[in-house]
Amino acid sequence: MGNLWQATSRETFARGPLEHPVNADLIVIGGGFTGSSAALHAAEAGFEVVLLEAETIGFGGSGRNVGLVNAGLWMPPDDVEAALGSGAGEELNAALAGAPDLVFSLIDAHGLDCEAVRNGTLHCAHSRAGMRDLANRHAQLSARGAPVTLLDRDQTAERTGSTRFHGALHDARAGTIQPLAYCRGLAAAAERAGASIHERSPAETISRKRDRWVVETSAASVTGKSLLIATNAYRSAAGGAPASAFIPVHYFQMATGPLPPDLARSVLPGQEGCWDTALVMSSFRRDGEGRLVIGAIGSLDHGLSAVHRHWARRKLTRLYPALSDQAIDHAWCGRIAMTSDHLPKIIRFGPSALSVFGFSGRGIGPGTLFGARAASALTEGNEDGLPVRPVESHVERFSNLQAVGYELGAALHHGTGLS
User: What is the structure's pLDDT at 242?
Assistant: 81
Residues of the chain with pLDDT > 70, as a percent, come to 100
Rounded to 10 degrees, the C-alpha dihedral 94/98/102/107 comes to 160
Chain-centroid distance, C-alpha 219: 31
- For residues 124 and 294, is the Cβ–Cβ distance under 8 A? no
- For residues 168 and 124, is the Cβ–Cβ distance under 8 A? yes
Report helix, strand or coil for 190: helix
Chain-centroid distance, C-alpha 196: 24
Residue 79: which of 90, 95, 68 has the closest Cα?
90
User: What is the structure's pLDDT at 118?
Assistant: 98
Q: What is the pLDDT of residues 174-212, one digit of tens each?
A: 999 999 999 999 999 999 999 999 999 999 999 999 999
User: What is the structure's pLDDT at 296?
Assistant: 96
Q: What is the pLDDT of residues 109-150, one digit of tens each?
A: 999 999 999 999 999 999 999 999 999 999 999 999 999 999
User: What is the structure's pLDDT at 132?
Assistant: 98
Residue 314: which of 223, 206, 183, 416 has the closest Cα?
416
Q: What is the pLDDT of residues 370-409, one digit of tens each?
A: 999 999 999 999 999 999 999 998 989 888 899 999 999 9
DSSP string, 285-347: EE-TTS-EEEEEE--SSSTTHHHHHHHHHHHHHHH-GGGTTPPEEEEEEEEEEE-TT---EEE
Cα(12)–Cα(32) distance, integer angstroms: 14
Q: What is the pLDDT of residues 358-375, one digit of tens each?
A: 999 999 999 999 999 999
**Which whole-number Å values give the CA distances from 355 to 112, 117, 156, 270, in the listed order?**
27, 31, 40, 38
Mean pLDDT on 92-105: 98
The count of other CB atoms within 10 Å of the CB of residue 53 is: 30
Cα(355)–Cα(377) distance, integer angstroms: 12
Residue 65: which of 281, 332, 305, 357 has the closest Cα?
332
pLDDT(417) > 80: no
4-120+173-415: CATH class: alpha beta
Report helix, strand or coil for 124: strand
pLDDT(93) > 70: yes
**Which whole-number Å values give the CA distances from 314 to 19, 317, 347, 353, 414, in the listed order?**
50, 5, 42, 47, 10
The count of other CB atoms within 10 Å of the CB of residue 279 is: 12
Cα(417)–Cα(192) distance, integer angstroms: 49
**Which whole-number Å values give the CA distances from 35 to 259, 304, 373, 388, in the listed order?**
35, 33, 11, 17
- For residues 236 and 53, is the Cβ–Cβ distance under 8 A? no
Please tell me the number of Cα atoms within 13 Å of 38 on its side-chain side. 38
pLDDT(332) > 80: yes
pLDDT(1) > 80: no
pLDDT(243) > 80: no
- For residues 407 and 298, is the Cβ–Cβ distance under 8 A? yes
Q: What is the CA radius of gyration of the chain?
A: 21
User: What is the structure's pLDDT at 418?
Assistant: 64
| pTM over the 0.95 mark | yes
User: What is the structure's pLDDT at 239?
Assistant: 82
pLDDT tier at 340, thresholds 50, 70, 90: very high
Cα(199)–Cα(176) distance, integer angstroms: 27
Q: How many residues does the chain have?
A: 419
Residue 206: which of 193, 215, 197, 218 has the closest Cα?
215
